[in-house]
Structure 1
């Protein structure tokens, strides 16, 4: 394997000159630069990226921290970030925090040691004070943190009101809500939208709210309990994974969905079309969100001006068979 010294010898220049050509740092006349590049190509020389990173304090790498990659919502988000970053010749390091603040802090320390050029956060375990100390460009995705940080989110509040109103419009009057984790901002926003719509409809009853924690198994368990102890004819689940759990519970009790109990989820992950019946849902522009966050981060890394740093994207209600009553 060729070394930088081999390139210097073949080109008839010093190692320092080859280094300046590789790093585009310092003046090298065009003829010398041409000889160095010809020598690099002839020897098929590959620079030591670790050494270059240490020298330049940059790596053309970004970190992407997600709370739970097993949640079907996040793979599409990750794919969008990776697709855009690849266009700009950045590599993505994926970190799974498991909704644990300490693990998130450890990942950030590791990413900084690797001289990542920026970080995209899709969790909200850290305070704004902790994030401000990261000392590399940060963009917040899916879960808002603070207006001082560029962010890309969906309109969770309006989406929740939309879902609740849809259940009312098809005849539901006892509408339960399976809520996501209490510490997750988008779960709280969806709960707030559900609560406010129920109050406006004159149907608000706090006994109809159950914690599902964005978990299929837990959502199934709380739905089984709710359907057996309360009169419920509609369920708005805070994400599609919990909606699947609710659907399984209804089917276990031999209830007809949607005629006995109608169910709607949130996110529009592929799984929502694979159930029987197919799940109605509130669709987030998942890929668009990830792509937009990636472009924002590139602009921050490259020092470009950002005309708009806060983005709240619209959502869309998609009706499928789980809310199509006869």
Structure 2
């Protein structure tokens, strides 16, 4: 089989010259070119032009990050945003802020926008715990860090929500209550709920379906409608203590109960989650999350991921400890006059 080396030897020129003639590129005298073509024809050499290799484009860091939150009206997420933004700006980067409004479909659209913006990395509080949705987040072209929620496939920074729910259960039972309720998302992916339910079971306290107010839409107007509809269906209050999945909603629960003549904590105990400014001002017992540590550690994880090649990125889970802060909504304070 004739090779390009055979042609070069017979023509008395270099292989590079043969290549220039066959590709019609570079400077070669007409006499040499004609001699090369004649030898190629004589030897029956078939030249197959190799496709040009595309130069691999390595995208340079843009210095832009993004964060997707389920709401901006909840003080807890507003504080989380403030911390992440401070960390980003400290290194001279920019942060794009998006509100998914708790809608997974809207969140998918925001992910496409992030791709178009060619961001370096995404912080997110996912609107859905479904495995297929988390898998979609894990397939993005940029690193993703989940904040306040733990997901096996994603690098995550959060408190142990199950432990937080368990602490609430222990507290309410220790206060002598057995008719205990829950308001919030009540699926198996909601770790606050599962931790709360499982600890009640350990303490042999039932949590029947009639005392669970399962909320799929967590917006305040919808929660108000759902809670009032639930209470209208019961002549007497079904629970003497209730765990509410966040402080924002706990404040609503207290307002609705008081508007119906129920006293807090004399008639019913209420405990929230997050320990936001709302809980502190309204004297609501709540599970505290170290929000500043979550934001800072989340940013550190993002810096680690962006400093690695995509194939080398590994998944870290940073799990922090929650702490139940007791206030007047679940502990009756008796003041003695001296």
Same fold per TM (> 0.5)? yes
- 8 Å contact 1:59–1:114 — kept in the other structure? no
2:138 corresponds to: 132
- 8 Å contact 1:175–1:208 — kept in the other structure? yes
1:232 matched to 2:239? The reply is: yes
Aligned match of 1:87 in 86, 90, 103? 90
Aligned match of 2:291 in 257, 271, 286? 286
- 8 Å contact 2:67–2:123 — kept in the other structure? yes
Aligned match of 2:202 in 193, 200, 203? 200
- 8 Å contact 2:135–2:153 — kept in the other structure? no
1:72 corresponds to: 75
Distance 1:300 1:55, change over 3 A: closer
Please report how far the alpha carbon of residue 206 of structure 1 lies from its aligned counterpart in structure 2 after TM superposition.
Answer: 2.5
1:180 corresponds to: 185
Please report how far the alpha carbon of residue 182 of structure 1 lies from its aligned counterpart in structure 2 after TM superposition.
Answer: 4.4
Please report how far the alpha carbon of residue 128 of structure 1 lies from its aligned counterpart in structure 2 after TM superposition.
Answer: 3.7
**Distance between the aligned counterparts of 1:58 and 1:306, measured in 2?**
16
1:220-299 alignment, distance < 5 Å: 220-224=224-228, 225-226=230-231, 228-275=235-282, 278-299=283-304
How many residue pairs match? The answer is 267
Q: Which runs of 5+ in 2 are unaligned?
A: 1-56
Please report how far the alpha carbon of residue 221 of structure 1 lies from its aligned counterpart in structure 2 after TM superposition.
Answer: 4.5
Distance 1:237 1:228, change over 3 A: farther
**Distance between the aligned counterparts of 1:222 and 1:106, measured in 2?**
28
Please report how far the alpha carbon of residue 124 of structure 1 lies from its aligned counterpart in structure 2 after TM superposition.
Answer: 4.1
1:1-326 alignment, distance < 5 Å: 57-125=60-128, 127-145=133-151, 147-180=152-185, 182=187, 185=189, 188-204=190-206, 205-212=208-215, 213-224=217-228, 225-226=230-231, 228-275=235-282, 278-303=283-308, 309-325=316-332
Instruction: Show CA shifts across 1:248-284 (max 9, x none).
Output: 1221122221111111111111111222xx1011111
2:54 corresponds to: none
> Greater CA deviation, 310-319 or 106-115?
106-115
Q: What SS does the corresponding residue of 1:127 show, helix, strand or coil?
A: helix
Instruction: Show CA shifts across 1:154-183 (max 9, x none).
Output: 111110110121111122221111123749
Instruction: Show CA shifts across 1:47-95 (max 9, x none).
Output: xxxxxxx996431010111111122221111111111112222111001
Which of 1 and 2 has greater Rg? Answer: 2
1:32 corresponds to: none
Q: What SS does the corresponding residue of 1:95 show, helix, strand or coil?
A: strand
**Distance between the aligned counterparts of 1:274 and 1:256, measured in 2?**
18
**Distance between the aligned counterparts of 2:248 and 2:235, measured in 1?**
21
Distance 1:139 1:118, change over 3 A: same
**Distance between the aligned counterparts of 2:239 and 2:134, measured in 1?**
40
Please report how far the alpha carbon of residue 220 of structure 1 lies from its aligned counterpart in structure 2 after TM superposition.
Answer: 4.2
Instruction: Show CA shifts across 1:165-210 (max 9, x none).
Output: 1111122221111123749x4xx21111121122122221222111
Tell me the TM-score normalized by structure 2: 0.72
Once superposed, what is the RMSD of the aligned Cα atoms? 2.5
